[in-house]
Structure 1
Amino acid sequence: MQEIERKFLVNNLQFKEEATNSFEIAQGYLNTHAERSVRVRIKGNQGFLTVKGKSNESGTSRFEWEKEISTADATQLLQLCEKGIIQKIRYNIPVENHTFEVDEFFGENEGLIVAEVELQHEDEAFSKPNWLGEEVTGHLKYYNSQLSKNSYKTWHHE
């Protein structure tokens, strides 16, 4: 299964007014190797185990495999994860034929808000809402697996 997505910073909170739903998410990484990551996630009252491969050169596409697991199993697996559990609220915002997933981070990544849109192919056109900011597709530091190791709060902000 191939995941194709583009990632953007968010420049204002208007997206919250347009959201159709939101979920609290806690996630950790059992493995953050350069060639793959293995993630455990609790999203609302559901648990998931996800394996993601290395991104292509543009950062828009990579292998993704996900399986739903019980929240009890996910809770236990989170205890085995590498240091740095990600805490965020995910908002789903429909924009024409696409749905943007906007993650508002908390804890060690508080202050960071990132939007992603999944596409059918890399050069697919999509409408950009006015709250969408700078594109950061392919910027490794914005990957959740990297945020768990090098949190947003540790970055040097100007």
Structure 2
Amino acid sequence: MAVEIERKFLLKNDSFKSESFKTSYIKQGFLNSNKNRVVRVRLIDKSGYLTVKGISNEEGLTRFEWEKKISKKDAESLLKLCEKGVIEKYRHFIKKGKHTFEVDEFLGDNIGLVIAEIELSEENEDFDKPKWLGKEVTGIIKYYNSELSKNSFKNWT
């Protein structure tokens, strides 16, 4: 069990790609997308993961998170049981100072949406802000993957 402290940002441009030291393909679905207890299944490259997340605090910065590695075969089987709206994306990893940004470049019905996330060890922790980092969207529910699976970016007005 752990508490996740995370901030999310939109991006100004795609110059982050030249700074990426690793890129992974992610496919994920939700066994439960209730905001009080999200249960997610993920395939990251060739590994599977089962994750449970609790409700965020008022600012959207922190929430309970539990994750367990599972086999690729189990993840593929569980993805077949998921709610409608599987998310697919490329995740780019960019090191800035002592932190690593994870930049999600969404595919499918969410193509065109790119979000950077940074995990912190405390809510008010300082971090280096790259030039490509745009508007902060931490705590804005429509940017949560569980919401994007139900109301994809292509449907936003």
- Structure-1-length-normalised TM-score: 0.98
2:138 counterpart of 1:137: yes
Cross-structure match for 1:75: 76
Cross-structure match for 2:24: 23
Q: CA–CA distance in 1 between the matches of 2:62 and 2:120?
A: 10
Q: CA–CA distance in 2 between the matches of 1:84 and 1:129?
A: 32
Q: Structure 1, unaligned stretches of length 5 or more?
A: none
- AA aligned opposite 1:3: E
2:52 counterpart of 1:51: yes
The alignment yields a C-alpha RMSD, in angstroms, of: 0.4
TM-aligned CA deviation for residue 34 of structure 1:
2.2
The percent identity for this pair of structures is 59
Cα deviation digits, residues 99-153 of structure 1 (max 9, x gap): 0000000000000000000000000000100000000000000000000000000
SS of the residue corresponding to residue 53 of structure 2 reads strand
Q: Structure 2, unaligned stretches of length 5 or more?
A: none
Q: CA–CA distance in 2 between the matches of 1:8 and 1:40?
A: 23
Report how many residues are paired: 156
Residues 3-152 of structure 1 aligned to structure 2 (within 5 Å): 3-152=4-153
Q: CA–CA distance in 2 between the matches of 1:131 and 1:40?
A: 30
Q: CA–CA distance in 1 between the matches of 2:35 and 2:63?
A: 13
- AA aligned opposite 1:92: F
Q: CA–CA distance in 2 between the matches of 1:85 and 1:15?
A: 25
- Structure-2-length-normalised TM-score: 0.99
TM-aligned CA deviation for residue 10 of structure 1:
1.0
